[in-house]
Amino acid sequence: MCGISGLANWGNREILARMTAVQRHRGPNDSGLWDHRSPDGSYMGLGSRRLSILDLSAGGRMPMSNEDGNVWITYNGEIYNARTLRRELEAKGHQFKSHSDTEVIVHLYEEEGADCVRRLNGMFAFAICDLREARPLLFMARDHFGVKPFYYVCRNGSLAFASEAKALLEVPGVEAKIDIQALDQYLTFLWVPDPKTLFEGILKLPAGYSAVYRDGELRISQYWDLSFPPAGEEFRFSEDALVHEVRERFQHSIEQQMVSDVPVGAFLSAGLDSSSIVAMMNRTAKKPLRTYTITFPEKYRKGESTLDDPRVPARLAQELGCENQQIMVEPDVATLLPKLCWHMDEPTADPAIIAAYLVCREASRDVTVLLSGVGGDELFAGYRKYAAHYWAEAYTKIPKPLRQIAKSAIDSVPNLRGSSLKGPLRLAKKMLGSAALSPRERFVGNCTYLNFIQRASLYSNDLRNREPDCEHVAAFEKVSHADFLNQMLYLDTKIFMTSLNLNYNDKMSMACSVEVRVPFLDRELAEFVAWNVPPRMKLKGFFSPTTKDIFRKAMRGVLPAEVLRQPKAGFAAPTDYWLANELKEMTDDLLTDSRTRSRGLFSAEAVQKLIREHRSGKRDWSMQIWQLLTLELWTQNFVDGASGASTHESMRAAIA
């Protein structure tokens, strides 16, 4: 696990060193630089910060080359089928000098070129400089699901790339400017969908894509995508056979992802996904497994139905004989939030980043690798918004006058702060507000936090009447043939999971120099489930549907009934409480009329109205206020650098 960086016809070794140094937290164990200048004057350089996981010796140092020194790689990730590939490559005559998976990629590229990515099962972002021909080329790739990040800037025939966007700000000519179109997406979803970022000109290589740079030209192509059978397809496996296959394939993924030369542990919540991972890990662990559970003080839990009950994972850990550490989250949020906004690179208005950071920070004292349940909900249909689609379909059959009465009644209910009904009420308001839309528009609407009209009213006069831009439309078209549940799963896998969940899991774990692995996103497991599990076995029932039905059945006998019955609980945080207490002063300070006007993005009156309505209990604007707060901190961290108000330089100096 590492931080990578690179330059092509841009900058020099000193710039490359600065790009690499700013990512020190991603790899505190070692660092390396390699660069090459061709006779024609063209320049290429690769940088690496290394977090040692496999082959802790100097043999695993990067950038790494083949035997001839004409193919060089910088790489971030883990390849879980590396041993199988290595045996195959050795049989073909390739010589290895280390036990690292990095070298497997080098030799696989020598053997198969750009098609090497089709053979890899794991998480990765890498760049290979190929000097075997007269004109050097760079081959770059990002893993199938986008577990590992890859940011780049390509301008005037020059290229720069890195694991984190902040490293690109070290390159001369790359400035932190706001992409206004991406800002609209941020206000819509709380984050910016790939391939855009809020930095103008800084993009992300999409998940499942590779790129070739040669002679000043960058060509990007898709090498893999998750696909589904047509709607109405007859499935060949019986339910009993699927239960067996899902359990065995999941177990295989766990076993592959436990391979490590450093200590391995796992997140453990009250939920099905992390509990299943821990139970399966425990079957092969040679000593008591270390697990880590986030819990909140009672004052935080009031009215937050999404916060896990810590007693459930505690009982499971005791039953399995695990060493469970419960981490009480009571941070100084006002101090912590600016730091985490810097580590995130992109403004991400999900308070779960705080819990993710704190659990990784505590776990880093004992382990270097953690297994996470990210991906289970997208694979097996675990979110309640999928059921909400079918509820809305039934709701549209009610006479329109009655629907209008119901909507008016629900809209008039205040936000119920401090009540466990706050979450269900928010879902009901969204569902009723979008019920009359088409299924696609409804699903996207239920994923948004500010609709087009609300965003327009928030913008300053200069930014109003912007055309909405949404990656979801193109994604829907790719799977329009599939059952609508699978269409929703595809969108969440390709957009929501990659741009939000995987992004913050990577950034928060790497901030603590910890590697997070995601067994549900084993490529072969995901492909099997997509093509062989009928939608009715993912989401079963209507009024009170069973989510992840086939996976729950696969875990019978593995997990106690208490865990199998647990309702969905997100990796959440007490946003309302923090805004009303620890972050109240920060909110008043950062979102003042004068500061808002000086930014020129939003109407100061509209911002203050959100704050007033939220504090009075009239509306629940907690996530929207968190959005604006996060955006202001991001702007101070990066955009204000020219005026000296940014913390970017001080942060960089602190980790250098």
Q: Does position 529 have pLDDT exceeding 50, yes or no?
A: yes
User: What's the pLDDT at 469?
Assistant: 57
What are the phi and psi torsion angles at 45 (to 5°)?
Answer: -145, 145
What pLDDT shows up at residue 306?
57
Predicted confidence at residue 452, as pLDDT, reads 86
Domain ranges of the chain: 2-222, 239-381+486-564, 384-482, 579-655
Mean predicted lDDT score pLDDT of the chain:
90
Of residues 565 and 25, more confidently modeled: 25
Measured CA to CA, the distance from residue 341 to residue 353 in angstroms comes to 9
- CB 279 within 8 Å of CB 555: yes
Q: Which CATH number fits domain 2-222: 3.40.1360.10, 3.40.50.360, 3.40.50.300, 3.60.20.10?
A: 3.60.20.10
Spell out the residues 6+ positions from residue 489 whose beta carbon is closer than 8 angstroms to its own: 378, 379, 381, 386, 530, 538
Q: Specify the pLDDT at position 397.
A: 87
d(Cα 366, Cα 512) in Å, to the nearest integer?
12
Q: Per-residue confidence at 303, pLDDT binned at 50, 70, 90? A: low
Q: Could you report the per-residue pLDDT of 386-438, keeping only the tens digit for each?
A: 998 898 888 888 998 888 888 888 888 877 766 667 767 777 777 777 877 89
pLDDT score recorded for residue 9: 96
Least confident of 78-87, 320-329, 634-643: 634-643
Classified as helix, coil or strand, 386 is helix
Mean pLDDT of 590-603: 93
Cβ atoms of residues 245 and 527 within 8 Å: no
Residue 88 pLDDT greater than 50, yes or no? yes
- Using the Cα atoms of residue 46, residue 51, residue 52 and residue 57 in order, give the sign of their dihedral: positive
Could you give the CA distance from residue 201 to residue 333 in angstroms, rounded to a whole number? 31
As a whole number, mean pLDDT of residues 474-489 equals 96
What's the confidence (pLDDT) of residue 654? 46
Number of other residues whose CB lies within 10 A of the CB of residue 39: 6
**Predicted pLDDT at 48:** 96
Q: Residue 142 and residue 145: Cα distance in Å, rounded?
A: 8
pLDDT tier at 591, thresholds 50, 70, 90: very high
Continuous segment of H or E residues that includes residue 214? strand 209-214
pLDDT of residue 304: 58
* Residues 6+ away with beta carbon under 8 Å from 593: 604, 608
| pLDDT for 429 | 79
Contact (CB, 8 A) for 426 and 414: no
The whole-number average pLDDT for the span 22-51 is 93
Lowest mean pLDDT of 37-41, 46-50, 244-248, 273-277, name the range.
37-41
Structure tokens at 282: 């425990």
- Taking the C-alpha atoms of residue 327 and residue 310, their distance in angstroms, rounded to an integer, is 10
The class of domain 239-381+486-564 in CATH terms is alpha beta
pLDDT score, position 417: 66
Q: What is the pLDDT of residues 130-153, one digit of tens each?
A: 999 989 999 999 999 999 999 999
On the question of pLDDT at 467 being above 60, the answer is: no
pLDDT value for 435: 77
Residues annotated as part of the active site? 2
